[in-house]
A and B are shown apart, each in its own frame.
Chain A
């Protein structure tokens, strides 16, 4: 439903209200597929795709069980929706299409969409009242990826975030809201992207440090806010903030953790994250729950912040099991990633799952030996082609913005993370033996470099995006400059 503000067509929607596709009640019971039924679809699977597209991405998988359940209905419906887009035949797709049958990235549309997403929202958007730091972060990250200079909104970012910072430390989702690690993460990263002394100086590091001390739990993890839940998101956001702001690693004197003998923010943290790996190999939001792509990224990025991945990931995770699970997140013909076993592809996992790969690949490559890329890198362990086809073919909305899948509306969250996933496929991310930071603990976190991949690309030169730091999910320079500024400021 298009919403109108002061006569202007607003294209931006907030993501959290997405509902799963509704399956009619009577179809929920398991049943057997008729032997004659054509795999996935009636009309579209018959039409010939554009030239240059391998059959892998235009046909249902070779093995399909006869037993149909709700999961299969949803999966079939998704394939059916995606196929015309994967084949480059849908009327809403804008070109031009290249020789690989892949449509161009509609840069101007997406830039326009993201700038629009930073402006005023009508009353119906009250549900995002606690997510305004995120709205800023998603838009700035998306715009940075698209090569826009976001320093132009520096003052506006500062004035937006200022009232959200609480005197007792941290940022809430809005003025007068309890400080939250997610909001604080989005706020700190947004300040890093616009950069400059005034932006950096906005953060009260002393109170932030003391607040983080109140979130650290006896089992090693972090609560997301005082009185809130504990999960790996919290751990990742906390270590992101601590490492970027150059906060002391030691817990504040009054931190609860000190009563159980803990001294540092990282104490027991690797063990907590290790308990989040499940028997499937993936990583859950908290110990014992189902493996999930978004939490996998949070846990692996957190481990890669607190030490070199070849040590931290290798020590805390069963790597072969993790690789197998992560690899199984990619489906054909869709080419994109799902977040969990037997769930559907969703554009946002282009980053959450896609972003795990450079971390694992780097863990496999081992300790960096030079200032350049490792000579015998393991390389990409997933299909970059598949993901690029899904992103450019299925996730671009006709009026700008990117989406979960065809049939869904775009929103800033998906626009940010789908573009981040595209950028990830375009670059080789590796660590060097030189760190931008003088810190010993975080030396590895600040030693990442990216170089464009030149071979076997299905996208065009004009589709290229800026590289992001694989742990902080903002441009490399933005992360490094922030860290260096705080290193030079007395705490």
Chain B
């Protein structure tokens, strides 16, 4: 126990607050942990400096030590962020350090909340740091659907207004080229193209929560709509039984207040003859629903009986609803 805080002169002015996990109560607390000594030592000093709201270099080092033993300790991250700002530390250096930890603990989300807190500082980051997007791609190389990283990336787009930065769409394209079924990438694409921009509330579909139909734009650039529909078509031709581009296309048409009917012929390519896509069948069911209820029932029955029977109850419900409309 040479390197404990307890026998370190630099810490002699601090009275540690020992852990109370309920063991002293005599009632045998639940889910207790036989903590390693160095963790007990470090966290008892952490409690003490936090209680005193100490903003110091030694406290900063202490947080690093606790994080190295338990990166899921959310409290220590929040404390660390406060110290970094209080001491006006070099946040680029902090990001470099974070990169290594992030690659080591892929599923940890405290790291991403921390990164967001740093990056939110307008004093430190008036523009996007140049290597930020490279690092995110490094993360996606490990797990291309990592929810925390995508959440952060979405926030980053809004933070720095990156909707039209070519790099954003290039990265999405690269990820979709590697795996056209990466639904996280499709979602990001939708947000770049059709998400609400800076002056609107914090994201989601446009007009959501306003009482108007969500996802429908007042004005759209029809060229963007057409080119995005082409992107979806190309993806579907590669792999027709991939839900992502079919639903992306629905979102695009919805944004432009255009009808699913304009894809009737295209969807038909995957239904007539050999059925190659359940999503095409569902598409046609929705196209037919308005005026050709019987044909719509035919499509839904195909899904229910042959191509997607695990969802039988849902398809039955859809058929029932058609009857009520007709």
Contact, CB under 8 Å: A173 / B179: no
Alpha-carbon gap, A486 to B31, bound state (A): 28
Asked if A148 is at the interface of the complex by the 8 Å CB criterion, the answer is no
Shortest Cβ gap from B162 to chain A (Å): 13
Shortest Cβ gap from A409 to chain B (Å): 15
Contacts of B213 in A (CB 8 A): 318
Instruction: List B residues 239-261 near A (Cβ within 8 Å).
Output: 239-244, 247-248, 250-251, 254
CB contact under 8 A between A288 and B107, given known A121-B32, A126-B36, A328-B311: no
Contact of B75 among A130, A273, A323 (CB under 8 A): A130
Asked if B132 is at the interface of the complex by the 8 Å CB criterion, the answer is no
Contact, CB under 8 Å: B310 / A278: no
Contact of B203 among A227, A228, A287 (CB under 8 A): A287
Contact, CB under 8 Å: A290 / B30: no
Asked if B144 is at the interface of the complex by the 8 Å CB criterion, the answer is yes
Shortest Cβ gap from A447 to chain B (Å): 24
Asked if B11 is at the interface of the complex by the 8 Å CB criterion, the answer is no
Contact of B317 among A125, A136, A381 (CB under 8 A): A381
Contact of A275 among B17, B35, B209 (CB under 8 A): B209
Contacts of B214 in A (CB 8 A): 274, 277, 318
Shortest Cβ gap from B315 to chain A (Å): 9
Contact, CB under 8 Å: A176 / B46: yes
Contact of A126 among B33, B51, B250 (CB under 8 A): B33
Contacts of B78 in A (CB 8 A): 178, 225-228
User: Per-position contact with A for B82-117: 1 when CB-CB < 8 Å, else 0?
Assistant: 100000000000000000000000111000010011
Contact, CB under 8 Å: B179 / A69: yes
CB contact under 8 A between A120 and B33, given known A65-B240, A340-B183: yes
Interface size class of B (residues with CB under 8 A): 35 or more
Instruction: List A residues 107-138 near B (Cβ within 8 Å).
Output: 117-123, 125-132, 135-136
Alpha-carbon gap, A19 to B312, bound state (A): 33
CB contact under 8 A between A342 and B309, given known A136-B31, A175-B19, A382-B314: no
Alpha-carbon gap, A50 to B256, bound state (A): 52
Q: Spell out A's residues near B (CB within 8 Å).
A: 5, 16-20, 28-30, 56, 61-67, 69-72, 117-123, 125-132, 135-136, 139, 153, 155-163, 172-178, 180, 219, 225-229, 270-281, 284-292, 316, 318, 323-324, 327-328, 330-332, 335, 340-343, 378-383, 386
Closest to B107 in A: A16
Asked if B225 is at the interface of the complex by the 8 Å CB criterion, the answer is no
Shortest Cβ gap from A185 to chain B (Å): 14
Alpha-carbon gap, A28 to B108, bound state (A): 23
Alpha-carbon gap, A382 to B276, bound state (A): 24
Asked if B128 is at the interface of the complex by the 8 Å CB criterion, the answer is no
Shortest Cβ gap from B66 to chain A (Å): 10
User: Per-position contact with A for B29-71: 1 when CB-CB < 8 Å, else 0?
Assistant: 1111111100100010011001100000000000000000111
Among A153, A175, A275, the most chain B Cβ lie within 10 Å of the Cβ of A275
| 5 tightest A-B CB contacts, nearest first | A288-B203, A279-B251, A271-B209, A275-B204, A287-B204
Instruction: List B residues 215-254 near A (Cβ within 8 Å).
Output: 215, 238-244, 247-248, 250-251, 254
Asked if B190 is at the interface of the complex by the 8 Å CB criterion, the answer is yes
Contact, CB under 8 Å: B205 / A327: no
Contacts of B184 in A (CB 8 A): 290, 340
Contact of A277 among B73, B107, B205 (CB under 8 A): B205
Alpha-carbon gap, A65 to B204, bound state (A): 31
Contact, CB under 8 Å: B202 / A280: no
Alpha-carbon gap, A280 to B210, bound state (A): 19
Contacts of A328 in B (CB 8 A): 243, 311
CB contact under 8 A between A18 and B107, given known A180-B74, A274-B214: yes
- How many cross-chain pairs have Cβ atoms below 8 Å apart between A and B? 287
Contact, CB under 8 Å: B307 / A380: no
Contact, CB under 8 Å: B190 / A62: no
User: Per-position contact with A for B8-41: 1 when CB-CB < 8 Å, else 0?
Assistant: 0000000001011110010111111111100100
Contact, CB under 8 Å: A288 / B29: no
Contacts of A72 in B (CB 8 A): 181
Contact, CB under 8 Å: B113 / A343: no
Asked if B4 is at the interface of the complex by the 8 Å CB criterion, the answer is no
Alpha-carbon gap, A122 to B35, bound state (A): 7
Contact of A30 among B179, B210, B247 (CB under 8 A): B179
Contact of B154 among A5, A180, A288 (CB under 8 A): A288
CB contact under 8 A between A278 and B242, given known A123-B33, A126-B70: no
Contacts of A273 in B (CB 8 A): 209
Contact, CB under 8 Å: A117 / B31: yes
Contacts of B195 in A (CB 8 A): 288
Alpha-carbon gap, A318 to B78, bound state (A): 37
Contacts of B150 in A (CB 8 A): 289-290
Contacts of B31 in A (CB 8 A): 117-119, 121, 128, 132, 135-136, 139, 160
Contacts of B106 in A (CB 8 A): 19
Shortest Cβ gap from A441 to chain B (Å): 20
Contact of B21 among A122, A174, A331 (CB under 8 A): A174
Contact of B204 among A17, A71, A118, A278 (CB under 8 A): A278
